[in-house]
């Protein structure tokens, strides 16, 4: 955690004319926590939800810093959470070097003339990625929201949004499809159609968002998406 001290003074004097502000920057701490949970996720044979399947498989359960035993998938969720927290906090903190007063407030709320250019984009980028796009431009790098590293960061943020605003039909449903069998004539000349056969192999399936993103391999990808943004920023500001 970084503490920044700012001294502000009014030339006109008067009561409370000078103030010292100690500002706590959390970006680095958020990113460190994301790394810790991604490492914990990759160190165990993690299964996805539901919990009864994890328990049946005998997957290890890690102990958290507070001493409370965690569901193994919790490390995956926390990697996503802390990685996105780092991206948003980082954008807002870095913006203080380029914006002041009302312009800074507008940036932090993703409003104002600069953000109008993102209207009508398909798919619509997240507010966090819009901020990073503008910050990169301040350093001379023109990158769109659909290009690396912002593309991967935006995908990470979308996963976070699906999990925070959880709807089971969107994020928690595993879908399997079977093809309908060709109609056949049965005894007596009647037309019979087999809609579904439990013993026939499925034609296709789609895993739920939870199955795709709450696992050890995905945790590493989520962390990498956030780290790539900060690495690119560091390269531009050396």
Give the model confidence (pLDDT) of 172-181 as tens digits: 899 988 887 7
**d(C-alpha 195, C-alpha 183), whole Å:** 9
Domain contains 157: yes
**Structural tokens at position 182:** 């060709």
Domain count, the chain: 2
Verify that 92 and 81 share a domain, yes or no.
yes
pLDDT tens digits, one per residue of 96-154: 999 999 999 999 999 999 999 999 898 899 999 999 999 999 999 999 999 999 999 99
Range of the domain at 151: 2-7+20-173+208-236
Same domain, 190 and 150: no
Please state, in angstroms and as integers, the Cα–Cα distance from residue 130 to each residue in 24, 28, 60, 165, following that order. Answer: 24, 21, 39, 21
Together in a domain, 28 and 108:
yes
The verdict on 202 and 124 lying in the same domain is no
Are 27 and 50 contained in the same domain?
yes
Give the CA distances from residue 71 to residues 49, 74, 79, in Å, rounded to whole numbers and listed in that order: 10, 5, 14
The pTM of this model reads 0.79
Radius of gyration of the chain measured on its C-alpha atoms? 25
Q: Which residue(s) pair with 20 in the sheet? A: 7
Pairing between strand 18-25 and 175-177?
unpaired
Residue 54 structure tokens: 């994890």
In a shared domain, residues 77 and 180: no
> Do the Cβ atoms of 181 and 197 come closer than 8 Å?
yes
């Amino acid at each position: 955690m970084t503490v920044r001290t700012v001294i502000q003074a009014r030339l006109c004097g008067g009561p409370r004319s000078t103030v010292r502000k100690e500002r706590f920057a959390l970006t680095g701490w958020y990113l460190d926590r994301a790394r810790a949970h991604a490492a914990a996720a990759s160190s165990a044979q993690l299964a996805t939800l539901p919990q009864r399947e994890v328990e049946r498989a005998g997957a290890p359960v890690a102990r958290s810093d507070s001493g409370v035993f965690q569901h193994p998938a919790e490390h995956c969720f926390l990697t996503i959470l802390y990685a996105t927290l780092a991206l948003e906090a980082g954008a807002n903190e870095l913006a203080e070097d380029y914006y002041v007063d009302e312009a800074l407030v507008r940036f932090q709320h993703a409003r104002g003339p600069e953000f109008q250019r993102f209207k009508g984009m398909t798919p619509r980028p997240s507010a966090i990625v819009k901020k990073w796009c503008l910050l990169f431009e301040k350093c001379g790098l023109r990158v769109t929201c659909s290009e690396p590293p912002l593309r991967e960061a935006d995908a990470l943020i979308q996963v976070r949004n699906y999990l925070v605003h959880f709807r089971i039909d969107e994020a928690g449903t595993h879908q399997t499809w079977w093809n309908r069998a060709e109609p056949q004539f049965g005894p007596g000349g009647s037309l019979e159609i087999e809609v579904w056969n439990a013993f026939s192999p499925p034609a296709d399936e789609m895993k739920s968002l939870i199955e795709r993103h709450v696992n050890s391999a995905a945790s590493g990808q989520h962390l990498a998406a956030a780290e790539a943004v900060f690495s690119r920023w560091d390269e531009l500001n050396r």
